Structure 1
Amino acid sequence: MINPPVHRSQLANGITVLTIANPSADIVSGRFFIPAGGRWELSAQAGLAQLLTSVMMKGTQQLSALEIADRVESVGAGLSADTTTDYIKMSLKTVKSDLVDIFKLAAEILRTPSFPESQIELERKLILQAIRSQTEQPFNNAYRQLRTALYGEHPYSRSSLGTATTMAQISRQDLVDYHQTHIRPDRLIISLAGRITPTEAIELVAQVFDDWEIPQIEPPVLLTQKVTTNPQYQVEHQATQQAIVMLGYLAPAIHDPDSIALKLIDSYLSNGMSSRLFVELREKRGLAYDVSAFYPTRLDTSHFAVYMGTAASNTQIAVSGLRAEVDRLCLEPLSAAELQTAKDKLLGQYALGKQTNGQLAQTYGWYELLGLGVDFDSQFSQAIQQLTSAQLQTVADKYLSTPYISIVSPEQQLVSSQV
């Protein structure tokens, strides 16, 4: 599939509109992005954005939760809201004939949620259950421990769900205040993909949002929190049948040119059953139940991580094995064949991630929020193709030399930090 062109415009009240015309099916998908989420929360209010997006869908000043659900389900549409560390998002999907009605409903939910007390308590209970569920999962515990070591007091150290303590303390007024502060037109990005032209998209957004004025208060300012390097070795014991071993490294945000090389390194280590980690540590040595790597796209300082689920008796061997495979990247350049295979995998996966209208709306809206612009799509592919083995080795040596180590293992298994 050839990527359709992306049209960008901006309304007088600051709303950014992206249109990706893709008339192959009578479907339109949309994303409403607002820079908010966990990165904009006080530590004492961690989970506030998560509770807000959960309750937003449960009533407006004109509609009840049941009426909202009925309007969406009666036409087979999709409408939801969620949050991440870097943004709050609403998503919609509908046939073209119902777009105006569903779009107006999404706008009403975004602008005038009623935050019913009964729904706040219900959603709070559900989130508290999710928090408890996280604490029972060894991978989540290892990742939480790693993030805490990497980021300290930075919001990236926290789960978007918050903690049981912070979630229990959030009040309805906190939700109202957060909504008034962050949900405003000059912070809104709307991306629409599908059977819709740029002219239709702009007219629709203007029709629904033209009366939304920028509030006479300054937009929220994100306080920059410095992340310092201080590698640690941490072990947490949990009643589990296997150990989770995770190595992490502070890594650049997506705006840094080195991030492109790290995306390719991530793909080389973890993309599929022919990836280095899978072949070397699972297939050849039989160490891993599960082994992979990840490098999240972040507005601020990100991280690169490799991990393995293994038998508790193999914990120290797993640490050594993971370190050896990462260290090889710093010491040995990839062969021409390895480099080309990694590029083909990454670009193939990247293309498959933009097949649906929902994926297109998500991708380009996210790029806009990141400040990368609509041209980043083609720039990314070109940059990947131009990377050399020597450049990958240089970037690996720059960022992947000394890891933070996080382990979750059964209490009876003694784990040594002398690895």
Structure 2
Amino acid sequence: MTSTITLSQNRMVHHTVLSNGITVLVTENPSADIIAARLFLKTGSRWEPYDKAGLSHLVAAVMTKGTEEHSSLEIAERVESIGASLGTDAASDYFLLSLKTVSADFPEMLDLAGELLRSATFPEAEVELERRLTLQAIRSQQEQPFTVALDRLRQTMYGEHPYALSGLGTISTVEKLTRQDLQDYYKTYFRPDNLIISIAGRITPDQAVSQVEEILGDWKAPSTPVADLTLPIVTSNPTRNSIPQETQQSIVILGYLAPSVQSSTMADYAALKLLNTYLGNGLSSRLFVELREKRGLAYEVSAFYPTRLDTSYFVTYMGTAPGNTEIALSGLKTEVDRLCDAPLSEEEIQTAKNKLLGQYALGKQTNSQLAQIFGWYETLGLGVEFDAQFQAAIANVTPETAQEVAGRYFGSPYVSLLGPAEAIENLHLA
């Protein structure tokens, strides 16, 4: 089945589903002789058992280290000999294989990508090497105060849900991962009916679909579908964590459970994305101007609200001098509460809209960006139509709806504090 979808900015994304279940998205962009492809699989750390956290990351790290036909060195030489790029990554809600090359070499690179998808071997020596490197990375993270405080916040907010843990996993889970675990994961989720291929560049839709069909068309989907996930329900129970640590600054983080990106919560999602831009995006943001520039409280201050398949979280944070910890905590809470107590002005809302939509447009300029964003939307189950829907939803946010949404989500916060014991213990939060 094939359909053509018209998007804003005169982009046409062609959507095709092959007989074996592979979804192919093609955005023709002849302006440069480059083709980028993003191959998404509906898996990632959200699909990991809690006691195997870090599995997706390890699969991504080892997947390019050998196939039934080529060694790790041969794969690297094949990519570098034509000046192409190829990489793998694992996120919370997807697994990704990325490639970019000149148009003439795209069939060769797509063939190599198909080989990695179908016949990666996960050599034992490579698994062991990447496991050691991952453990080093986890230990390095444990020495970063902000990361420690944020990890504690996530663990408190999400409990047994996979979102509680870093994508790298933990020392205890990664130490136990085996080559067999990687192979089982690969066998379970790497299948044609779980694959979305998003291609952008100097290639026609017919050419792209034909090349995918030639390379992957004979890949048969297993008769048994991927099992449905049963994940713990995330419920709100705001608590405070204090992590005594002799640091030169205190880390102050406030967290609020926030909606997923599903269509049922689109209006709330858009309003919170806009409030995130207003609060914490850039040097003109409310938090930066009020708490750093005017009051001199912050070494660093910002906010973020990631897009997630399941319940997300809205976070504001600050790094401050230990002596200012209580004032910083109060200042962050005051700025969030302000969004609930009174509507923003029309000028404030419009400025935030202009910034958010301008940055969004700039994020869709290159072939790699186009392949990424459309493939990501399709993988999340939103469809590429979400590109236009999101922009319309942002445009429709009013000061009153933003205040109403803030009032529903910004109640009592989860709090994570890290710093010298005398600075973070027994603090008052109004």
Which TM-score band (shorter chain)? Answer: over 0.9
Alignment partner of 1:180 is 2:178: no
1:193 alignment counterpart: 200
Deviation of 1:414 (Å): 4.3
1:344 alignment counterpart: 354
Deviation of 1:252 (Å): 0.4
1:329 alignment counterpart: 339
Contact 1:131 1:164 in 2 (8 A): yes
Alignment partner of 1:263 is 2:270: no
Contact 2:45 2:53 in 1 (8 A): yes
Question: 1:155-174 counterparts in 2 under 5 A?
Answer: 155-174=162-181
Paired AA for residue 78 in structure 1: S
2:4 alignment counterpart: none
1:389 alignment counterpart: 399
Tell me how far apart the structure 2 counterparts of residues 93 and 73 of structure 1 sit (CA, whole Å): 12
2:315 alignment counterpart: 305
Contact 2:124 2:179 in 1 (8 A): yes
Deviation of 1:58 (Å): 0.4
2:390 alignment counterpart: 380
Segment drifting more, 325-334 vs 371-380: 371-380
Deviation of 1:5 (Å): 1.1
Paired AA for residue 82 in structure 2: V
- CA displacement 1:283-335 (0-9 Å, x = unmatched): 11000011000000000000000000111111111110000000000011111
State the TM-score, normalized to the length of structure 1: 0.98
Segment drifting more, 148-157 vs 210-219: 210-219
2:410 to 390, 400, 411: 400
2:58 alignment counterpart: 51
Describe the SS at the equivalent of 2:423. Answer: coil
Tell me how far apart the structure 1 counterparts of residues 421 and 101 of structure 2 sit (CA, whole Å): 51
2:288 alignment counterpart: 278
Alignment partner of 1:318 is 2:325: no
Alignment partner of 1:16 is 2:30: no
1:224 alignment counterpart: 231
Paired AA for residue 260 in structure 2: A
Tell me how far apart the structure 1 counterparts of residues 211 and 227 of structure 2 sit (CA, whole Å): 28
State the TM-score, normalized to the length of structure 2: 0.96
Alignment partner of 1:371 is 2:381: yes
Contact 2:40 2:95 in 1 (8 A): yes
Alignment partner of 1:27 is 2:37: no
1:111 alignment counterpart: 118
Alignment partner of 1:293 is 2:303: yes
Tell me how far apart the structure 2 counterparts of residues 77 and 123 of structure 1 sit (CA, whole Å): 23
Contact 1:245 1:406 in 2 (8 A): yes
Describe the SS at the equivalent of 2:167. Answer: coil
1:204 alignment counterpart: 211
Structure 2: unaligned runs, 5 residues or longer: 1-7
Tell me how far apart the structure 1 counterparts of residues 13 and 251 of structure 2 sit (CA, whole Å): 42
Are residues 139 and 3 of structure 1, via their aligned partners in 2, closer, same or farther at CA, if it must alter by over 3 Å? farther
Contact 1:316 1:415 in 2 (8 A): no
Structure 1: unaligned runs, 5 residues or longer: none
1:150 alignment counterpart: 157
Paired AA for residue 47 in structure 1: G
Paired AA for residue 126 in structure 2: Q
Tell me how far apart the structure 1 counterparts of residues 94 and 390 of structure 2 sit (CA, whole Å): 22
Tell me how far apart the structure 2 counterparts of residues 209 and 242 of structure 1 sit (CA, whole Å): 53
Contact 1:182 1:220 in 2 (8 A): no
- CA displacement 1:38-67 (0-9 Å, x = unmatched): 111111111111111110010001100000
Contact 2:66 2:123 in 1 (8 A): yes
Deviation of 1:384 (Å): 1.0
Alignment partner of 1:72 is 2:55: no
Paired AA for residue 309 in structure 1: G
Tell me how far apart the structure 2 counterparts of residues 388 and 265 of structure 1 sit (CA, whole Å): 11
Aligned residue pairs, count: 419
Describe the SS at the equivalent of 1:413. Answer: helix
Tell me how far apart the structure 2 counterparts of residues 318 and 2 of structure 1 sit (CA, whole Å): 42
Q: Percent identity?
A: 57
2:91 to 78, 84, 91: 84
Deviation of 1:412 (Å): 4.5
Contact 1:269 1:293 in 2 (8 A): yes
2:102 to 77, 80, 95: 95
Tell me how far apart the structure 1 counterparts of residues 395 and 88 of structure 2 sit (CA, whole Å): 36
Contact 1:315 1:415 in 2 (8 A): no
Contact 1:316 1:416 in 2 (8 A): no
2:3 alignment counterpart: none
Paired AA for residue 242 in structure 1: Q
Deviation of 1:381 (Å): 1.1
